[in-house]
Structure 1
Amino acid sequence: MSGLREQQKALRRRTISQSALTLFAHQGFQATTMEQIARTAAVSVPTVFAYFGSKQEILLEKLHAADRRAIAEARERIAQYANPLDAICDFQRRLTEYAFEVMPPALWREILPPLLPLLGPDQSALPEAYKRVNDALVQELTLLLGDLCSAGLLRATLDIEYAAFMLNDYGHLQLLRLCTQSEPDKQTFWADTRRSTAFMLSGMQ
């Protein structure tokens, strides 16, 4: 019985989450209310709050899952690369593609601008829920860079925590630039990302 109950709870959580993402995509994040999410998911408002404390939590849970998927796949492929630039660009490509699976460019345009000024070294003004997800991504990226150091592809004395912070911080800016295009030019974006990453890597090798 407990197994069935857990399955039902997991299904209800996915239904609420997907309903919220659909509303975010169609009418924007700020314009969407928890009441609308509950109505679309065919549950009560208290039920939505029982699973998610806010609509931010719904969005961030999906983004965190996408980040972890990108990191896990990139780390699995490290041994295939003789060049750390290829490994990091592979991660960046996966991270961007999976981010777009969660939210379309228009929604990123709404979410990112207020957050970018808060993502510097002092993140005290960053909303706590977003800070947790961002910190987790930086930690995962630190592990990826650590793998590259262990493989001899980056210098052993590299400050991998700061390098991870720098790559993540600049990655947010690059993502916003891509999203501001009415028709995102991903080929140019990947080329620009590779050039900027190569420049940063020149001090890491």
Structure 2
Amino acid sequence: MAGLRERQKADRERRILGAAVTKFRAEGYRSVRIEDLAEMAEVSVGTVYNYYQTKGDILIATVAMEVEEVLASGAEIVRAPPPGAEEALLSLIFSYYDHSLEYLSKEMWRTAMALAIEAPGTPNGRRYAELDARLSAQVTDLIRALQARGEVRADVDPVAMGQLIFNNLNQMFIEFVKEDDMTLETLRSEVAAQTAPLARLIAPEAQA
């Protein structure tokens, strides 16, 4: 029975988040009420509040759902990176970007970022920061994997380099979601141009 209850609980949560993705994208985060989400998810309003205290909690949960899938995809790249630092780094970065609008619109991302920045000490703020930290750590893991294959210089600090690369890809993503007219192709092109010289600097032949 406990297993059945857990499955039912997980199913209700998936329906709530599915409703949030659909409603927030179609109507805008600020226009949607908790009652609208409950109706679409076919649960009571009270059930929604059993899972999430605020609409902001639901939005950050959709971010977490997005990032968890991104991390899973990135883990495959870290386990078997493409050859060469530049290609491997761009493969990971582009896997982040290409999945970024799967569940969230640009407006949803802007709102989630604002929630995290306005109240960094709240559970939502801490959860958002923790997701960023896990993405940054994955970039670091990729640097380590490339070092182990001899494709990144041994004297490169993988943590500092991972943080540097993540900070840049994250800032560029912020610029992307700020501009409704900016395309994913433009984002990829600009980040590729920024990453290429950095990849050359950390490549073993740069030691000479």
Q: How does 1:97-176 map to 2 (within 5 A)?
A: 97-112=98-113, 114=114, 127-176=125-174
Q: Distance in 2 between matches of 1:159 and 1:116?
A: 29
Matched, 1:68 2:66: no
Q: Distance in 1 between matches of 2:60 and 2:185?
A: 32
Partner of 1:6: 6
Instruction: Spell out structure 1 runs of 4+ moving beyond 6 A.
Output: 115-118, 123-126
SS, match of residue 29 in structure 2: coil
Partner of 1:190: 188
- Asked whether the 8 Å contact 2:16–2:37 carries over to 1, the reply is yes
For structure 1, which segment, 81-90 or 183-192, has the greater mean C-alpha deviation from structure 2 after superposition? 183-192
Q: Distance in 1 between matches of 2:9 and 2:181?
A: 39
The sequence identity of aligned pairs, in percent, is 22
- Asked whether the 8 Å contact 2:147–2:153 carries over to 1, the reply is yes
Q: Distance in 1 between matches of 2:33 and 2:21?
A: 12
Partner of 2:49: 49
Q: Distance in 1 between matches of 2:23 and 2:170?
A: 24
- Asked whether the 8 Å contact 2:17–2:61 carries over to 1, the reply is yes
User: What residue ranges of structure 2 are gaps of 5+ in the alignment?
Assistant: 204-208
CA separation of 1:3 and 1:189: change in aligned 2, threshold 3 A: same
Q: Distance in 1 between matches of 2:139 and 2:63?
A: 18
Partner of 1:20: 20
Q: Distance in 2 between matches of 1:51 and 1:132?
A: 20
SS, match of residue 100 in structure 2: helix
CA separation of 1:70 and 1:107: change in aligned 2, threshold 3 A: same
Q: Distance in 2 between matches of 1:71 and 1:174?
A: 18
CA separation of 1:162 and 1:52: change in aligned 2, threshold 3 A: farther
Q: Distance in 1 between matches of 2:72 and 2:88?
A: 15
Q: Distance in 1 between matches of 2:76 and 2:28?
A: 30
For structure 1, which segment, 175-184 or 96-105, has the greater mean C-alpha deviation from structure 2 after superposition? 175-184
Cα offset for 1:101?
A: 0.7
For structure 1, which segment, 132-141 or 2-11, has the greater mean C-alpha deviation from structure 2 after superposition? 2-11
Q: Distance in 2 between matches of 1:4 and 1:116?
A: 35
- Asked whether the 8 Å contact 1:52–1:58 carries over to 2, the reply is no
SS, match of residue 65 in structure 1: helix
With structure 2 as the length reference, what TM-score do the two structures score?
A: 0.80
Q: CA RMSD in A?
A: 2.8
Q: Distance in 1 between matches of 2:20 and 2:185?
A: 30
Cα offset for 1:175?
A: 1.9
User: What residue ranges of structure 1 are gaps of 5+ in the alignment?
Assistant: none
CA separation of 1:149 and 1:166: change in aligned 2, threshold 3 A: same
CA separation of 1:73 and 1:29: change in aligned 2, threshold 3 A: farther
- Give the aligned length: 198
Q: Distance in 1 between matches of 2:166 and 2:68?
A: 16
